[in-house]
């Protein structure tokens, strides 16, 4: 959408403290609609498989916060004493779904913000939250207390288990968000942050935490997966990752018997792994 991109870039260049143009809210609304329809994304995968942020999209989301004013968005239903209240920028409210959207939102306090793409067949178990700019592919389950952060990209048929945290990022605008590709399984209480990429069909055991500074030890390939200055941490396709530990190297720490959290790839997904996860389809 070159015209929308050009207008957002022009508006984003408005110096701080100066008033924004009269069409700013209209432009932001057009971007949020395009994100919800899936015609634009906050990050894209190139032909070589590398994920990159789309800076103008993130600029447009930030523009929405800049142009917005905090308003009362509480569903009071005529009752001013309702205990359920919330206040946010009027430019980025929550999304409203219809039955023909094909998204299952189970009662219990879940929220999807405007500007998030949620495909048909997605299941939202309460309470969970999907933030602006995120992409959630068809057939994915977002389980209770799970978070899909701003601009995070989650593929098709992914299971984000209870309390999984998928970090988001808006600034800097060229920073890539967390990406989880198709058919991956993210266990309960996992944390994925700082642009980590989980390739297709990988399985993260409960409690795995991945950041840009996390080394992941691969027992199968006998190597260590790390982020570099130019590339994020990547979990290979089909890898099965569990929480592990390694001894600290310092003399004093070693003497105290201390160890550090270390994710470990113990195997790569095979027919037995798929059989163990076959019940996923029955929960959807």
30-46 mean pLDDT? 97
40 domain residue, yes or no: yes
pTM (2 d.p.):
0.93
pLDDT of residue 281: 54
168-177 mean pLDDT? 92
126 domain residue, yes or no: no
pLDDT band of 1, cuts 50, 70, 90: low
Residues, the chain? 284
Q: Give per-residue pLDDT as tens, 274-283.
A: 756 654 555 4
The number of domains in the chain is 1
267 domain residue, yes or no: no
Q: Are strands 70-72 and 87-89 parallel, antiparallel or unpaired?
A: antiparallel
265 domain residue, yes or no: no
pLDDT of residue 84: 75
199 domain residue, yes or no: no
**The domain spanning residue 43 has which CATH number?**
1.10.166.10
Containing structural domain, residue 18: 2-70
- Measured CA to CA in angstroms, residue 156 lies from 12, 113, 148 at distances of 32, 20, 14
Alpha helices in 68-206 (DSSP H): none
Least confident of 16-30, 62-76, 81-95, 194-208: 81-95
270 domain residue, yes or no: no
39 domain residue, yes or no: yes
For the CA atoms of 92, 98, 101, 105, the dihedral, rounded to the nearest 10 degrees, stands at 80
Report the C-alpha gap between 248 and 214 in whole angstroms: 14
**pLDDT for residue 246 is more than 60:** yes
**Residue in the structure block whose two tokens are 């009269």:** 22
28 domain residue, yes or no: yes
Q: Give per-residue pLDDT as tens, 194-217.
A: 999 999 999 999 999 999 999 999
pLDDT band of 250, cuts 50, 70, 90: confident
């Amino acid at each position: 959408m070159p015209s929308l991109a050009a207008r957002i870039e022009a508006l984003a260049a408005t110096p701080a403290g100066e008033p924004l143009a009269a069409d700013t809210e209209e432009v932001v609304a057009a971007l949020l609609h395009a994100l919800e329809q899936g015609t634009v994304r906050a990050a894209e995968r190139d032909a070589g498989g590398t994920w990159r942020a789309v800076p103008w999209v993130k600029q447009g989301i930030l523009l929405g916060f800049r142009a917005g004013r905090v308003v009362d968005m509480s569903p009071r239903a005529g009752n001013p004493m309702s205990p359920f209240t919330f206040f946010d920028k009027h430019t980025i409210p929550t999304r409203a779904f219809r039955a023909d959207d094909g998204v299952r939102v189970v009662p219990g306090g879940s929220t999807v913000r405007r500007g998030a793409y949620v495909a048909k067949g997605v299941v939202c178990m309460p309470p969970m939250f999907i933030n602006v700019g995120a992409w959630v592919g068809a057939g994915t389950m977002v389980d209770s207390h799970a978070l899909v952060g701003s601009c995070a990209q989650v593929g098709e048929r992914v299971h984000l288990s209870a309390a999984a945290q998928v970090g988001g990022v808006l600034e800097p605008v060229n920073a890539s968000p967390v990406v989880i590709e198709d058919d991956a399984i993210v266990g309960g209480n996992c944390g994925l942050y700082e642009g980590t990429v989980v390739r297709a069909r990988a399985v993260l055991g409960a409690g795995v935490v991945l950041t840009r500074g996390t080394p992941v030890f691969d027992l199968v390939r006998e190597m260590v997966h790390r982020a570099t200055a130019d590339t994020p941490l990547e979990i290979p396709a089909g890898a099965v990752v569990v929480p592990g530990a390694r001894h600290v190297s310092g003399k004093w720490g070693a003497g105290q018997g201390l160890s550090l959290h270390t994710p470990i790839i113990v195997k790569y997904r095979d027919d037995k792994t798929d059989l163990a996860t076959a019940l996923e389809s029955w929960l959807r």
